[in-house]
């Protein structure tokens, strides 16, 4: 019986094995350098600033002055979307800020459309590791804001981040994000900083608002662009973040930097002035349908149906009630008072000097009745809403059968 020849065993010198190991890992390192993973910069990252504006020349002038004072200005690009301004904004930009890229609109872009137009234009210039920073024209950044936001984003997995914001007139907090139950915290500086102290200077939210928010450019690959068709003005920023959140992105408000907001509420949205007293039916309907109103019922319904389907009806009805309660018959019956605007008292200062009148028993009774009527009105409103909703579904079911 023939025996098989023993297998040949080659002895490789230790120095040769070390050379092969080093060569393999050198090649592997070269491959990784040539193809960096998503989110890892291949050069110094840029911050692309986008500022939508419309007929607010003085505000955008002050905003840009702060932008050009940024410590990271050498790695920043600035784009202003001038949506059909007729107050000389275009001339001012050309004269004072020739380095700014200006995109023109015809006055129908609104906020979301202006942002979407800018991102469509700038996206071919985006490189791996870059950021885009949305800034409203009434926002004033401190000198290190852009650099601080980019740093916070990097150390937190390239999350979306927004700074703490205060009203320039009153010093009160202005919310720069939203999460369920976050309103009382984000609008109160003491509570906000207390919450941030427990989370390394961060407060996690579900959405960031457009007044000043920074995002990594790769967020567009998962969330797409801003949806200007569905949300031309309000809800566009929240819709974008909620869609990106489903793709795994996280969002934070940080105390690493702070901004001031010089907010002109009358120019921002019609709902601010609408809430200042009783209104006629025409004004109520306008507030419920205007693009410049955050209480636009059709757009609210669209937003709620997309992101909060189970509560869409109740949430939309609640928004509608904010308008209906300002209708003069309901407003007077409930004994409502004007809501204070941010940074200003609810009533003129002269009213504070009027002598106080002692309430008669009859007036006290009327006030008590009004307090009782307020919840009854709301219950009646929502009851009518759900009855109408059930009737509508019943009719649709009957037609199908």
How would residue 240 be classed by pLDDT, with cut points 50, 70 and 90? Answer: very high
The rounded percent of the chain whose pLDDT value lies above 70 is 78
50 pLDDT higher than 90? yes
pLDDT over 80 at 339, yes or no: no
**Residue 23: pLDDT band by 50, 70, 90 thresholds?**
very low
Average pLDDT on 318-342 reads: 79
CB 233 within 8 A of CB 110: yes
Separation of alpha carbons 389 and 401, rounded Å: 19
> What is the distance between the alpha carbons of residues 296 and 145, in angstroms, rounded to a whole number?
33
What pLDDT sits at residue 392?
A: 73
Residue 105 falls inside a structural domain: yes
**Alpha helices, DSSP H, located in 188-296:** 189-197, 219-223, 236-246, 265-268, 270-274, 281-289
Same domain? For 54 and 78 the reply is: yes
Please identify which residue in the block is written with the tokens 């002269």.
350
State pLDDT tens for residues 343-372: 443 333 333 334 445 567 776 776 677 666
Element (H, E) at 202: strand 202-205
How confident is the model at residue 141, as a pLDDT?
Answer: 96
Tens digit of each residue's pLDDT (9 = 90 or more) over 144-166 = 999 999 999 999 999 999 999 99
Res. 246: pLDDT tops 90? yes
Least confident range from 127-131, 168-172, 206-210: namely: 168-172
Asked if the structure places residue 87 within a domain, the reply is: yes
- Report the CATH number that the domain containing residue 109 is assigned in CATH: 3.90.550.10
Q: Are residues 218 and 294 in the same domain?
A: no
Residue in this structure with the two tokens 């890229």, named with its chain if needed: 101
For residue 14, the model assigns a pLDDT of 40
Give the H/E segment covering residue 305.
helix 297-307
The answer to whether 81 and 50 have CB atoms below 8 angstroms apart is yes
pLDDT surpassing 70 at residue 340: no
Q: Are residues 206 and 253 in the same domain?
A: yes
pLDDT for 354: 41
* Top-confidence residue, 329 or 235: 235
| Judgement on whether residues 180 and 303 belong to the same structural domain of the protein | no
In terms of domains, do 305 and 254 share one? no
The residue among 210, 231, 266 that closes a domain is: 266
Residue with tokens 């009027």: 354
Please check whether residue 190 is in contact with residue 164, taking contact to mean a CB–CB distance below 8 angstroms.
Answer: no
Q: What is the pLDDT of residues 279-295, one digit of tens each?
A: 999 999 999 999 999 99
In this prediction, residue 119 carries a pLDDT of 97
295 in any annotated domain: yes
Identify which has the larger pLDDT, 237 or 329.
237
Q: Is residue 351 in a domain?
A: no
Q: Are residues 307 and 247 in the same domain?
A: no
Count the domains in the chain: 2
Question: Does one domain contain both 73 and 141?
Answer: yes
Co-location of 291 and 261 in the same domain: no
**Structural domain contains residue 15:** no
Residue 354 lies in a domain: no
Whole-prediction pTM: 0.76
Contact 273, 344 (CB under 8 A): no
CB 391 within 8 A of CB 385: no
Query: In the prediction, which pLDDT does 353 show?
Result: 39
The pLDDT assigned to 47 comes to: 96
* Pair 324, 221 in one domain: no
Residue 278 has pLDDT above 80, yes or no: yes
pLDDT-derived band of residue 100, with 50, 70 and 90 as boundaries?
A: very high
Average pLDDT over residues 67-86: 95
Confidence of residue 8 (pLDDT cuts 50, 70, 90): very low
Q: Tell me, yes or no, whether 151 and 77 share the same domain.
A: yes
How is residue 58 written in tokens? 């003085």
The reply to whether 4 falls in a domain is no
Looking at 201, 232, 266, the residue that finishes a domain is: 266
Report the DSSP beta bridge partners of residue 78: 49
Burial 131-146 (b: 16+ CB within 10 A, else e): bbbbbbbbbbbbeebb
Co-location of 57 and 184 in the same domain: yes
Asked whether residue 281 falls in the same domain as residue 208, the answer is no
User: Which three-class secondary structure string do you get for 75-138?
Assistant: HEEEEEEEECCCCCHHHHHHHHCCCCEEEEECCCCHHHHHHHHHHHHHHHHCCCCCEEEEECCC
CA distances, 2 to each of 5, 6, 8, 9, 60 (Å) = 9, 12, 18, 21, 95
**Cβ neighbours for 282, distance < 8 A, ≥ 6 positions apart:** none
Joined together, the tokens standing for residue 87 give 């107050």
Give residue 399's pLDDT. 80
Q: Is residue 241 part of a domain?
A: yes
> Looking at 238, 266, 294, which one is the last position of a domain?
266
CA angle 42-43-44, nearest 5°? Answer: 140
Instruction: Band the pLDDT of 227: cuts 50, 70, 90.
Output: very high
Dist CA 226 CA 243 (whole Å): 10
Mean pLDDT of the chain: 82
What residues make up the domain containing 195? 47-266
Average pLDDT over residues 39-59: 80
The full length of the chain comes to 401
């Amino acid at each position: 019986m023939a025996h098989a020849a023993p297998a040949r065993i080659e002895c490789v010198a230790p120095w040769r094995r070390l050379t092969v190991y080093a060569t393999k890992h050198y090649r592997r390192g070269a491959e990784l350098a040539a193809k960096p993973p998503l989110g890892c910069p291949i050069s110094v990252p840029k911050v692309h600033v986008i500022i939508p504006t419309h007929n607010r020349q003085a505000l955008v002038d002050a905003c840009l002055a702060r932008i050009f004072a940024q410590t990271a200005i050498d790695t920043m690009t600035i784009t202003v979307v001038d949506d059909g301004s007729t107050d000389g904004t275009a001339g001012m930009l050309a004269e004072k800020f020739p380095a700014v890229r200006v995109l023109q609109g015809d006055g129908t872009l609104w906020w979301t459309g202006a942002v979407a137009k800018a991102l469509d234009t700038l996206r071919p210039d985006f490189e791996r590791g870059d950021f885009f920073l949305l800034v409203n024209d009434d926002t004033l950044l401190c000198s290190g804001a852009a650099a601080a936001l980019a740093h916070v984003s990097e150390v937190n997995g390239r999350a979306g981040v927004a700074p703490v914001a205060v009203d320039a007139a009153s010093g009160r907090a202005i919310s720069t994000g939203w999460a369920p139950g976050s309103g009382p915290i984000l609008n109160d500086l003491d509570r906000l900083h207390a919450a941030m102290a427990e989370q390394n200077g961060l407060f996690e939210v579900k959405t960031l608002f457009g007044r000043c928010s920074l995002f990594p450019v790769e967020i567009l690959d998962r969330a797409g662009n801003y949806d200007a068709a569905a949300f031309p003005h309000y809800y566009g920023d929240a819709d974008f973040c909620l869609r990106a959140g489903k793709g795994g992105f996280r969002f934070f408000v940080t105390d690493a930097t702070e901004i001031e907001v010089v907010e002109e509420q009358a120019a921002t949205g019609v709902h601010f002035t609408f809430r200042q007293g009783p209104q006629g039916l025409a004004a109520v309907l306008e507030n419920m349908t205007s693009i410049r109103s955050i209480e636009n019922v059709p757009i609210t319904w669209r937003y709620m149906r997309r992101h909060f389907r189970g509560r869409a009806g109740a949430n939309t009805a609640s928004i509608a009630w904010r308008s209906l309660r300002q209708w003069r018959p309901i407003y007077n019956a409930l004994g409502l008072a004007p809501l204070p605007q941010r940074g200003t008292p609810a009533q003129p200062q002269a009213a504070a000097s009027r002598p106080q009148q002692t309430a008669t028993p009859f007036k006290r009774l009327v006030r008590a009745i009004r307090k009782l009527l307020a919840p009854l009105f709301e219950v009646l409103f929502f009851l009518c809403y759900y009855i109408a909703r059930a009737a509508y579904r019943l009719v649709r079911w009957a037609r199908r059968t």
